[in-house]
Structure 1
Amino acid sequence: MPGPPRRCASRAGHSRRRRREKAVPMSLFWRIFLLNAVVLIAATALLLGPVTVSTPVLLTEAAVLTAGLAAILIANGVLLRVGLAPLQRLTRAMTTTDLLRPGARPAVGGHGEVAELITTFNAMLDRLEAERATSAARALSAQEAERHRIAQELHDEVGQTLTAVLLELKSVADHAPPAAVREELHQVQESTRASLDEIRRIARRLRPGVLEELGLASALKALTSEFTGPALAVRHHVDADLPPLSRDTELVLYRVAQESLTNAARHSGARRVDLTLERAPAGMELSVRDDGHGIRDAVEGAGISGMRERALLIGADLTLSPRPGGGTEVRLVVPLHHGSH
């Protein structure tokens, strides 16, 4: 009857597999301890048996003892080198890990508690990156809401107040009898108008209404126009067939471009900046290149850290690198599966 033997063989196979799964790898402590114990027991057995030590020690006896000691040291050195190598890789990973620049995790190697330690460290990094992404998303969302509120108040309160002041100044200047007084009032009127324009410009930067109304391509073109002036020429190239992008992705692309242009205008000493948004094999690619003095060894400030946090929110890859001919290039690559609606 073939049925029962097959069932018995199946149960035996499952039992063996369960025993293998339950087997716990020997820890580093016990491997070192057992190796030393084996060597010392062997040395003791030799001393109690055929090997003896004379007084004074003979040359052959000294050679045997020296060889035994060398064997112990070499065996311990090899075992420690092999056993602690994963810990050395883990130490390097701990000292170089940056949550704003997620990279490859240290490979799980070794046995017992060493492998468990590396696995726990990788799980901790995953948890920290997820928590940082969540907290950064909340902070950036609150920041955008605050920018929206401030821009609205600048437009509705300060802007309307200055507009009323302009109208009053014009009325007073038109009825002022002395020509000198009228000239002074016109100068004050022009200063007030310049202040009103500056407030409107700040409000547009805080809340890019053109992004919501006309889309990303128009918003980037308007942004380059704002930064173009006598001291800085900003050129742009935006692909005409951009794929549909989510609102968060469009906002991240716009803010990264805005921060990159701000840094180029204020800190790089550049005369020309090129902004490009196009399709790439890896997804959508935003590039901002300037001909300034480059980033050199400057410490990254809050602006660049903010760009990195925004890039992490949409799974994008942000790099800042010096250009071969001088200057800096900011490159943001957005995978399409993250950026699409």
Structure 2
Amino acid sequence: MVDETQRLSLFWRIFLLNAAVVTAAFGLLMVGPFTVSTPVLLTEAMILSGVLAVMLAANAGLLRLGLAPLDRLAHTMNTVDLLRPGHRLTVTGRNGIADLIRSFNTMLDRLEAERATSAARALSAQEAERQRIAQELHDEVGQTLTAVLLELKRVADHAPEPVSGEVRQVQETVRNGLDEIRRIARRLRPGVLEELGLASALKSLAGEFSTAGLTVRRTIDADLPGLGKETELVLYRVAQEALTNTARHSGARQVTLSLSHQSPQTLIELRIRDDGRGIAGAPEGAGIRGMRERALLIGADLTIGPAPGRGTEVLLRVPLVLVEEKHSD
């Protein structure tokens, strides 16, 4: 049977706590050998002051004990991050506080579900827009620049010197621009991922970032299970963003990229580790938050922190059971 105090509201419990303290002090004064003179004697003032101090201390202790769950709830409200889901408060306290904690946990469940749904829509729209832009760069801008190159070649072949040499320099500039546009289009739409799979796409990505001053070493297991298009795209985009951040901000010279099937073969792990200056408590930017949103789409766990020794490590861990559920859906 539920204790009657469990049904009392927070107001009435606080009121009864205070009433109990005041009643106890009143009873002590009634039955004790205490009198109050007019004017109040020093001894009587000291006794009354001591009783008041005891009352205040008892009241403060009881309220601190009763309202401790509210302090934990307030701390969680201030620190909760929907990009790091799963944290829930233990339901403790009496009826009113327990109901408040349950309601807060239910609200977090709903917010995380709504955040995951909206993020999935947004990222899906983002990928569609990337594909559209990549297609336009390839079909429109790329073809236009190719036609310009052919025309420049025709002009250079028939122009006298030194005009011919100048035209060929322009031709080389246009060719470099065309190569850059193709590179951008590949990053926007990783065709190699669709055509050859995740392992080949990551190898190609590592090659793109292996430029002057930065070396990317890759280790990719050969026995990776089928992961599905959505999971492979998340792994690829996280690797792409991690390498982009490393190249732009870390000052690293060596980067290792590994994709492994962890024993007891329940996890797929993507690990990117560099030897740069590290994150040093820097606030997370849009790129990292985008990585966290992508990880949420497939129920993966993303951790970003200091690497052993120096540098930064990005670790994405994908439970295979969730991948299999997505396949079955």
Q: Shared fold by TM > 0.5?
A: yes
Aligned with residue 322 of structure 1, among 298, 306, 319 = 306
C-alpha spacing 1:197/1:55, structure 2 compared with 1 (3 Å): same
Residue in 1 aligned with 2:297?
A: 313
2:269 maps to 285
Q: How far apart in 2 are the matches of 1:45 and 1:301?
A: 63
User: Aligned partners of 2:32, 2:297: CA distance in 1, in Å?
Assistant: 73
Does the alignment pair 1:337 with 2:315?
no
The alpha-carbon deviation at position 323 of structure 1 amounts to 1.8
Within a 5 Å distance, the mapping from 1:66-81 to structure 2 comes to 66=49, 68-81=51-64
Q: CA deviation at 1:325?
A: 2.1
Matched, 1:93 2:66: no
Shift of 1:230: 2.1
Distance (whole Å) between structure 2 residues aligned to residue 261 and residue 49 of structure 1: 79
Do the aligned partners of residues 62 and 236 (structure 1) sit closer, same or farther apart at CA in structure 2, a change above 3 Å counting?
same
2:116 to 133, 141, 145: 133
Letter in 2 for 1:217: A
Residue 109 (structure 1) aligns with: 92
- The aligned counterpart of 1:37 is 19
Question: How far 1:153 moved relative to its partner?
Answer: 0.5
Q: Matched residues in 1 for 2:277 and 2:27: separation?
A: 74
What's 2:158 paired with? Answer: 175
- Residue aligning to 1:10: none
User: Could you tell me how far 1:284 is from its partner in structure 2?
Assistant: 0.4
Evaluate the alpha carbon distance shift between residue 173 and residue 49 of structure 1 in structure 2; reply closer, same or farther with a 3 A threshold. Answer: closer
Match of 2:147 in 1: 164
For the Cα contact (< 8 Å) 1:32–1:76, is it kept in 2?
no
Deviations 1:241-262 (CA, angstroms, capped at 9, x unpaired): 0011021110000000001111
Residues 46 and 302 (structure 1), Cα distance of their counterparts in 2 relative to 1, 3 Å cut: closer
What is the CA deviation profile of residues 312-331 of structure 1, one whole-angstrom value per residue up to 9, with x for unaligned ones? 11111111111232211111
Cα distance per residue 1:257-308 (max 9 Å; x no partner): 0011111111111111110000124510000111111111322111111001
Q: Structure 2: how far apart are the matches of 1:192 and 1:54?
A: 102
1:114-143 Cα offsets, whole Å, 9 max, x none, are 111111111111111111111111110000
Provide the C-alpha distance between the structure 2 equivalents of 1:266 and 1:52, rounded to a whole number of angstroms.
79
**Which one-letter code corresponds to 1:291 in the other structure?**
D
1:175–1:72 CA distance, 2 compared to 1 (3 A): same
2:191 corresponds to which of 168, 190, 209: 209
Letter in 2 for 1:32: I
- Provide the rounded CA distance (Å) in 2 between the counterparts of 1:115 and 1:206: 49
- Aligned match of 1:3: none
Give the TM-score of the pair, scaled to structure 2.
Answer: 0.90
* Identity within the alignment, %: 67
SS in 2 for 1:179: coil
- Is the aligned partner of 1:232 residue 2:209? no
Q: For residues 21 and 178 of structure 2, what CA distance do their matches in structure 1 show?
A: 87
Of 98-107 and 125-134, more deviation after overlay is shown by 98-107
Instruction: Quote the residue 1:248 is aligned against.
Output: 230
Shift of 1:190: 1.0
User: TM-score scaled to structure 1, two decimals?
Assistant: 0.87
1:326 is aligned with what amino acid?
R
Query: Number of aligned pairs?
Result: 322
Q: Which runs of 5+ in 2 are unaligned?
A: none
* Structure showing greater Rg: 1
Q: Deviations over 1:154-191 (max 9, x none)?
A: 11011111111111111111111x22111111111111
Supply the distance in 1 between the matched residues of 2:179 and 2:254 (Cα, whole angstroms).
Answer: 25
Any idea what SS the aligned residue of 1:236 has? strand
Give the distance between the partners of 1:224 and 1:34, measured in 2 at CA. Answer: 68
Instruction: Find the residue that maps to 1:275 and give its secondary structure.
Output: strand
Q: For 1:196 and 1:38, locate their aligned partners in 2 and report how far apart those are by CA, in whole Å.
A: 83
Q: Which moved more, 1:226-235 or 1:328-337?
A: 226-235
Root-mean-square deviation over aligned CA pairs? 2.2
Structure 1: runs of 5 or more not aligned: 1-16
Which residue identity lines up with residue 325 of structure 1 in the other structure?
G
Residues 298 and 48 (structure 1), Cα distance of their counterparts in 2 relative to 1, 3 Å cut: closer
- 1:267 is paired with a residue of what secondary structure? helix
Q: Give the aligned residue type for 1:315.
A: G
- Greater mean deviation of Cα atoms: 214-223 or 92-101: 92-101
SS in 1 for 2:277: coil
SS in 1 for 2:7: coil
